[in-house]
Amino acid sequence: MTSAHAPRSAVIGLGSMGLGMALTMARKGLSVTGFDINPDAVAKLTQGGGTGCNNITEAATGCDIVVAVVVNAAQTDAVLFGEGGAAMAMARGGVIISSATMAPEDARRFAEKAKGLGLHYLDAPISGGAAKAASGELTIMASGTAEAFAGARPVLDVIAGTVYELGCAAGIGASFKMVNQLLAGVHIAAACEAMAFAKRLGLDLDQVYKVITASAGNSWMFENRVPHILEGDYSPRSAVNIFTKDLGIVGDMGRRETFPLPLSAAALQMFMMTAAAGMGRDDDASVARMFAMIAGLDLPERRKE
Protein backbone atom coordinates (compact mmCIF):
# COMPACT_ATOMS: atom_id res chain seq x y z
CA MET A 1 0.00 0.00 0.00
CA THR A 2 2.37 2.68 -1.15
CA SER A 3 0.01 3.95 -3.85
CA ALA A 4 0.14 7.68 -4.33
CA HIS A 5 -3.61 8.22 -4.52
CA ALA A 6 -5.82 8.59 -1.45
CA PRO A 7 -7.11 5.13 -0.57
CA ARG A 8 -10.59 4.18 -1.70
CA SER A 9 -12.53 2.15 0.77
CA ALA A 10 -15.78 0.18 0.89
CA VAL A 11 -17.90 -1.26 3.67
CA ILE A 12 -19.90 -4.39 2.93
CA GLY A 13 -22.69 -4.88 5.47
CA LEU A 14 -24.37 -1.71 6.76
CA GLY A 15 -26.02 -2.96 9.93
CA SER A 16 -25.69 -0.83 13.05
CA MET A 17 -21.95 -1.57 13.26
CA GLY A 18 -21.09 -1.35 9.56
CA LEU A 19 -23.17 1.77 8.92
CA GLY A 20 -21.62 3.48 11.93
CA MET A 21 -18.14 2.63 10.67
CA ALA A 22 -18.91 3.78 7.10
CA LEU A 23 -20.45 7.07 8.25
CA THR A 24 -17.45 7.70 10.50
CA MET A 25 -15.13 7.08 7.55
CA ALA A 26 -17.10 9.52 5.37
CA ARG A 27 -17.25 12.13 8.13
CA LYS A 28 -13.48 11.94 8.59
CA GLY A 29 -12.82 12.46 4.90
CA LEU A 30 -12.23 8.98 3.53
CA SER A 31 -13.67 8.03 0.17
CA VAL A 32 -16.17 5.32 1.11
CA THR A 33 -18.69 3.26 -0.83
CA GLY A 34 -21.01 0.71 0.74
CA PHE A 35 -23.59 -1.97 0.18
CA ASP A 36 -26.22 -3.77 2.22
CA ILE A 37 -29.25 -5.85 1.28
CA ASN A 38 -31.29 -3.28 3.23
CA PRO A 39 -31.82 -0.29 0.86
CA ASP A 40 -32.59 2.05 3.78
CA ALA A 41 -29.09 1.51 5.14
CA VAL A 42 -27.60 2.18 1.71
CA ALA A 43 -29.60 5.43 1.47
CA LYS A 44 -28.37 6.52 4.91
CA LEU A 45 -24.76 6.09 3.83
CA THR A 46 -25.35 8.35 0.83
CA GLN A 47 -27.08 10.93 3.02
CA GLY A 48 -24.08 10.84 5.34
CA GLY A 49 -21.52 11.67 2.65
CA GLY A 50 -20.59 8.20 1.40
CA THR A 51 -21.69 6.46 -1.76
CA GLY A 52 -24.41 3.85 -1.38
CA CYS A 53 -24.24 1.20 -4.12
CA ASN A 54 -26.63 -1.30 -5.71
CA ASN A 55 -24.45 -4.37 -5.28
CA ILE A 56 -21.15 -5.55 -3.87
CA THR A 57 -19.25 -5.35 -7.14
CA GLU A 58 -20.22 -1.73 -7.63
CA ALA A 59 -19.17 -0.88 -4.08
CA ALA A 60 -15.86 -2.75 -4.16
CA THR A 61 -14.59 -2.05 -7.67
CA GLY A 62 -11.17 -0.43 -7.53
CA CYS A 63 -11.16 -0.19 -3.74
CA ASP A 64 -7.89 -0.47 -1.80
CA ILE A 65 -9.60 -1.38 1.47
CA VAL A 66 -12.77 -3.43 1.88
CA VAL A 67 -14.31 -3.81 5.33
CA ALA A 68 -16.59 -6.85 5.70
CA VAL A 69 -18.97 -6.39 8.64
CA VAL A 70 -21.55 -9.13 8.27
CA VAL A 71 -23.02 -11.59 10.76
CA ASN A 72 -20.84 -14.67 10.54
CA ALA A 73 -18.24 -16.69 8.62
CA ALA A 74 -20.70 -17.97 6.00
CA GLN A 75 -21.81 -14.43 5.09
CA THR A 76 -18.20 -13.23 5.12
CA ASP A 77 -17.29 -16.00 2.68
CA ALA A 78 -20.22 -15.10 0.42
CA VAL A 79 -19.69 -11.33 0.32
CA LEU A 80 -15.94 -11.63 -0.20
CA PHE A 81 -15.39 -14.75 -2.26
CA GLY A 82 -18.83 -15.75 -3.60
CA GLU A 83 -20.20 -14.88 -7.04
CA GLY A 84 -20.04 -11.11 -7.43
CA GLY A 85 -17.98 -10.94 -4.23
CA ALA A 86 -15.76 -8.05 -3.22
CA ALA A 87 -12.42 -9.86 -3.50
CA MET A 88 -12.75 -10.18 -7.28
CA ALA A 89 -13.64 -6.49 -7.75
CA MET A 90 -11.20 -4.68 -5.50
CA ALA A 91 -7.74 -3.42 -6.46
CA ARG A 92 -4.96 -6.04 -6.52
CA GLY A 93 -2.65 -5.55 -3.54
CA GLY A 94 -5.58 -4.22 -1.52
CA VAL A 95 -6.54 -5.33 1.98
CA ILE A 96 -9.66 -6.94 3.39
CA ILE A 97 -10.58 -5.96 6.96
CA SER A 98 -12.78 -8.79 8.20
CA SER A 99 -14.77 -7.92 11.32
CA ALA A 100 -17.47 -10.58 11.72
CA THR A 101 -17.13 -12.82 14.76
CA MET A 102 -15.95 -16.25 13.61
CA ALA A 103 -13.84 -19.26 14.54
CA PRO A 104 -10.10 -18.78 14.05
CA GLU A 105 -9.95 -21.55 11.45
CA ASP A 106 -12.42 -19.60 9.29
CA ALA A 107 -10.24 -16.50 9.55
CA ARG A 108 -7.18 -18.55 8.53
CA ARG A 109 -9.09 -20.02 5.58
CA PHE A 110 -10.19 -16.58 4.35
CA ALA A 111 -6.65 -15.22 4.69
CA GLU A 112 -5.43 -18.05 2.43
CA LYS A 113 -8.15 -17.33 -0.14
CA ALA A 114 -7.26 -13.64 -0.11
CA LYS A 115 -3.57 -14.41 -0.59
CA GLY A 116 -4.43 -16.59 -3.58
CA LEU A 117 -6.11 -13.56 -5.15
CA GLY A 118 -3.19 -11.21 -4.50
CA LEU A 119 -4.86 -9.51 -1.54
CA HIS A 120 -3.98 -8.94 2.12
CA TYR A 121 -6.31 -9.97 4.95
CA LEU A 122 -6.63 -8.42 8.39
CA ASP A 123 -8.41 -10.62 10.95
CA ALA A 124 -10.11 -7.75 12.79
CA PRO A 125 -13.08 -8.55 15.01
CA ILE A 126 -14.55 -5.53 16.74
CA SER A 127 -15.92 -4.73 20.17
CA GLY A 128 -17.73 -1.71 21.50
CA GLY A 129 -21.27 -1.66 20.10
CA ALA A 130 -23.13 0.65 17.73
CA ALA A 131 -22.44 3.84 19.68
CA LYS A 132 -18.68 3.37 19.48
CA ALA A 133 -18.94 2.43 15.79
CA ALA A 134 -20.75 5.72 15.16
CA SER A 135 -18.19 7.75 17.12
CA GLY A 136 -15.09 6.09 15.67
CA GLU A 137 -14.03 4.59 19.00
CA LEU A 138 -14.24 0.87 18.32
CA THR A 139 -11.89 -1.62 19.91
CA ILE A 140 -10.33 -3.86 17.28
CA MET A 141 -8.65 -7.17 18.08
CA ALA A 142 -6.45 -7.47 15.01
CA SER A 143 -3.93 -9.92 13.61
CA GLY A 144 -2.32 -10.26 10.20
CA THR A 145 0.81 -9.59 8.22
CA ALA A 146 2.68 -6.29 8.40
CA GLU A 147 1.39 -5.57 4.86
CA ALA A 148 -2.20 -6.15 5.98
CA PHE A 149 -1.78 -3.77 8.92
CA ALA A 150 -0.08 -1.14 6.76
CA GLY A 151 -2.76 -1.31 4.10
CA ALA A 152 -5.60 -1.18 6.63
CA ARG A 153 -4.13 1.71 8.59
CA PRO A 154 -6.05 4.59 6.94
CA VAL A 155 -9.34 2.94 7.92
CA LEU A 156 -8.19 1.68 11.35
CA ASP A 157 -7.01 5.20 12.19
CA VAL A 158 -10.49 6.65 11.79
CA ILE A 159 -12.80 3.90 13.08
CA ALA A 160 -10.92 2.67 16.16
CA GLY A 161 -10.20 4.08 19.60
CA THR A 162 -7.90 1.12 20.29
CA VAL A 163 -6.30 -1.34 17.89
CA TYR A 164 -4.75 -4.36 19.58
CA GLU A 165 -2.03 -5.77 17.32
CA LEU A 166 -2.13 -9.37 18.45
CA GLY A 167 0.07 -11.25 16.03
CA CYS A 168 1.21 -11.69 12.46
CA ALA A 169 -1.25 -14.38 11.36
CA ALA A 170 -4.99 -14.45 10.79
CA GLY A 171 -6.88 -16.44 13.44
CA ILE A 172 -5.31 -14.79 16.48
CA GLY A 173 -7.68 -11.83 16.43
CA ALA A 174 -10.61 -14.23 16.05
CA SER A 175 -9.36 -16.30 19.01
CA PHE A 176 -9.19 -13.24 21.26
CA LYS A 177 -12.71 -12.26 20.23
CA MET A 178 -14.02 -15.75 21.03
CA VAL A 179 -12.39 -15.71 24.49
CA ASN A 180 -14.11 -12.36 25.07
CA GLN A 181 -17.45 -13.74 23.84
CA LEU A 182 -17.10 -16.78 26.12
CA LEU A 183 -16.78 -14.48 29.12
CA ALA A 184 -19.42 -12.00 27.93
CA GLY A 185 -21.97 -14.76 27.36
CA VAL A 186 -21.33 -16.45 30.70
CA HIS A 187 -21.51 -13.09 32.50
CA ILE A 188 -24.85 -12.12 30.90
CA ALA A 189 -26.35 -15.50 31.78
CA ALA A 190 -24.93 -15.25 35.33
CA ALA A 191 -26.35 -11.74 35.75
CA CYS A 192 -29.78 -13.02 34.73
CA GLU A 193 -29.55 -16.10 36.97
CA ALA A 194 -28.53 -13.91 39.92
CA MET A 195 -31.21 -11.26 39.38
CA ALA A 196 -33.97 -13.83 38.94
CA PHE A 197 -32.78 -15.64 42.07
CA ALA A 198 -32.69 -12.33 43.97
CA LYS A 199 -36.30 -11.76 42.93
CA ARG A 200 -37.23 -15.22 44.21
CA LEU A 201 -35.54 -14.37 47.53
CA GLY A 202 -37.73 -11.27 47.78
CA LEU A 203 -34.92 -8.74 47.45
CA ASP A 204 -35.31 -5.19 46.13
CA LEU A 205 -33.77 -5.48 42.64
CA ASP A 206 -32.70 -1.84 42.39
CA GLN A 207 -30.84 -2.29 45.66
CA VAL A 208 -29.26 -5.52 44.38
CA TYR A 209 -27.95 -3.62 41.36
CA LYS A 210 -26.52 -0.88 43.56
CA VAL A 211 -24.83 -3.30 45.98
CA ILE A 212 -23.45 -5.73 43.39
CA THR A 213 -22.04 -3.07 41.07
CA ALA A 214 -20.02 -1.84 44.09
CA SER A 215 -18.92 -5.37 45.10
CA ALA A 216 -16.67 -8.21 43.98
CA GLY A 217 -19.61 -9.87 42.14
CA ASN A 218 -19.66 -7.15 39.49
CA SER A 219 -18.96 -7.61 35.80
CA TRP A 220 -19.00 -5.29 32.80
CA MET A 221 -22.05 -7.19 31.55
CA PHE A 222 -23.86 -7.13 34.92
CA GLU A 223 -23.47 -3.37 35.03
CA ASN A 224 -24.53 -2.93 31.40
CA ARG A 225 -27.41 -5.42 31.05
CA VAL A 226 -29.16 -5.49 34.45
CA PRO A 227 -30.67 -2.00 33.86
CA HIS A 228 -32.64 -3.60 30.99
CA ILE A 229 -34.17 -6.00 33.55
CA LEU A 230 -34.85 -3.19 36.05
CA GLU A 231 -36.59 -1.17 33.33
CA GLY A 232 -38.36 -4.20 31.87
CA ASP A 233 -37.02 -3.12 28.49
CA TYR A 234 -36.05 -6.04 26.27
CA SER A 235 -35.84 -4.15 22.98
CA PRO A 236 -32.68 -5.59 21.44
CA ARG A 237 -29.50 -3.65 22.04
CA SER A 238 -27.81 -7.02 21.42
CA ALA A 239 -30.01 -10.05 20.79
CA VAL A 240 -30.17 -13.49 22.40
CA ASN A 241 -29.46 -14.97 18.95
CA ILE A 242 -26.01 -13.33 18.93
CA PHE A 243 -25.05 -15.49 21.90
CA THR A 244 -26.61 -18.73 20.67
CA LYS A 245 -24.35 -18.11 17.65
CA ASP A 246 -21.19 -17.01 19.49
CA LEU A 247 -21.32 -19.55 22.32
CA GLY A 248 -22.10 -22.12 19.61
CA ILE A 249 -18.80 -21.18 17.93
CA VAL A 250 -17.03 -21.41 21.32
CA GLY A 251 -18.47 -24.89 21.80
CA ASP A 252 -17.41 -25.96 18.30
CA MET A 253 -13.89 -24.70 19.02
CA GLY A 254 -13.81 -26.60 22.31
CA ARG A 255 -14.78 -29.86 20.64
CA ARG A 256 -12.22 -29.34 17.89
CA GLU A 257 -9.53 -28.73 20.55
CA THR A 258 -10.87 -31.53 22.82
CA PHE A 259 -11.17 -28.94 25.53
CA PRO A 260 -13.93 -28.95 28.18
CA LEU A 261 -15.86 -25.68 28.63
CA PRO A 262 -18.52 -26.42 31.27
CA LEU A 263 -19.64 -22.85 32.02
CA SER A 264 -19.83 -21.78 28.39
CA ALA A 265 -21.85 -24.91 27.65
CA ALA A 266 -24.31 -24.19 30.48
CA ALA A 267 -24.64 -20.55 29.39
CA LEU A 268 -25.29 -21.60 25.78
CA GLN A 269 -28.15 -23.81 26.94
CA MET A 270 -29.64 -20.87 28.87
CA PHE A 271 -29.60 -18.70 25.73
CA MET A 272 -31.05 -21.65 23.77
CA MET A 273 -33.89 -21.99 26.29
CA THR A 274 -34.58 -18.27 25.96
CA ALA A 275 -34.56 -18.44 22.15
CA ALA A 276 -36.74 -21.58 22.23
CA ALA A 277 -39.25 -19.63 24.33
CA GLY A 278 -39.59 -17.16 21.45
CA MET A 279 -37.21 -14.43 22.64
CA GLY A 280 -34.32 -15.01 20.22
CA ARG A 281 -34.58 -11.55 18.65
CA ASP A 282 -35.07 -9.77 21.97
CA ASP A 283 -32.36 -8.26 24.14
CA ASP A 284 -29.95 -10.81 25.60
CA ALA A 285 -31.05 -9.83 29.14
CA SER A 286 -34.18 -11.84 28.23
CA VAL A 287 -32.49 -14.81 29.89
CA ALA A 288 -33.94 -13.26 33.08
CA ARG A 289 -37.43 -13.39 31.54
CA MET A 290 -36.88 -17.08 30.75
CA PHE A 291 -36.29 -17.69 34.48
CA ALA A 292 -39.34 -15.55 35.30
CA MET A 293 -41.46 -17.61 32.88
CA ILE A 294 -40.29 -20.90 34.39
CA ALA A 295 -40.56 -19.86 38.01
CA GLY A 296 -43.53 -17.47 37.89
CA LEU A 297 -41.60 -14.38 38.95
CA ASP A 298 -42.93 -10.86 38.52
CA LEU A 299 -39.98 -9.00 37.06
CA PRO A 300 -40.39 -5.27 36.35
CA GLU A 301 -42.49 -4.51 33.28
CA ARG A 302 -41.87 -1.64 30.92
CA ARG A 303 -44.03 1.34 31.66
CA LYS A 304 -46.72 1.72 28.97
CA GLU A 305 -46.13 4.89 26.98
Nearest approach, Cβ of residue 187 and its own copies (Å): 6
Residues 6 or more apart in contact with residue 46 via CB below 8 angstroms: 52
Distance between CA atoms of 88 and 38, rounded to whole angstroms?
A: 22
Q: Is 216 in the site for its own copies (CB under 8 A)?
A: yes
Contacts of 290-294 spanning 24+ positions with Cβ under 8 A: 290/192, 291/192, 291/193, 291/196, 291/197, 292/196, 292/199
Residue 298 within binding range of its own copies, rule CB under 8 A: no
- Our CB check for its own copies shows the closer of 167 and 232 to be 167
Q: Which stretch binds its own copies (CB under 8 A): 59-67, 69-77, 82-90, 291-299?
A: 291-299
Does 230 bind its own copies (CB under 8 A)? Our answer is no
Which one of residues 224, 230, 237, 299 is an interface residue with its own copies (CB under 8 A)? 224
Among 157, 203, 281, 302, binds its own copies (CB under 8 A): 203
Strand partners, 142: 165
Own/partner contacts of 223-226, CB < 8 Å, gap of 24 or more, are 225/188, 225/191, 225/192, 225/283, 225/284, 225/285, 226/191, 226/195, 226/285
Q: Which of 45/189 has CB closer to its own copies? A: 189
Query: Between residue 138 and residue 167, which ones bind its own copies under the rule CB under 8 A?
Result: 139, 141, 162, 164, 166-167
Q: CB nearer to its own copies: give 87 or 172.
A: 172
**Of 44, 113, 132, 177, which residue is the catalytic one?**
177
**Minimum gap (Å) between residue 168 Cβ and its own copies:** 12
Residue 95's closest CA among 139, 128, 64?
64
**Cα–Cα distance between 91 and 63 in angstroms, integer?**
5
Residue 55 burial (10 A CB sphere; 0-12, 13-18, 19+): exposed
Position 248 contacts its own copies (CB under 8 A): no
Residue count, binding to its own copies (CB under 8 A): 66
**What's the burial of 232, exposed, middle or buried (CB within 10 Å: 0-12/13-18/19+)?**
middle
- Cβ proximity to its own copies, 71 vs 211, nearer residue: 211
Smallest Cα–Cα separation from 145: which of 101, 90, 93, 89? 93
227 binds its own copies (CB under 8 A): no
Near its own copies by CB under 8 A: residue from 187, 228, 245, 289: 187
Q: Please report the DSSP string for 128-168 in residue order.
A: SHHHHHHHT-EEEEEB--HHHHHHHHHHHHHHEEEEEE--S
177 among known catalytic residues: yes
Tell me: does residue 214 bind its own copies (CB under 8 A).
yes
Instruction: Give the type of residue at 55.
Output: N
What is the smallest separation between the CB atom of 260 and its own copies, expressed in angstroms? 7
Which residues, numbered 108-127, are part of the site for its own copies (CB under 8 A)?
A: 127
User: Which residues belong to the active site?
Assistant: 177
Interacting residues with its own copies (CB under 8 A): 104, 127, 139, 141, 162, 164, 166-167, 172, 175-176, 178-184, 186-187, 189-191, 193-194, 196-198, 200-204, 207-208, 210-212, 214-222, 224, 253-254, 257-267, 269-270, 291, 294-295
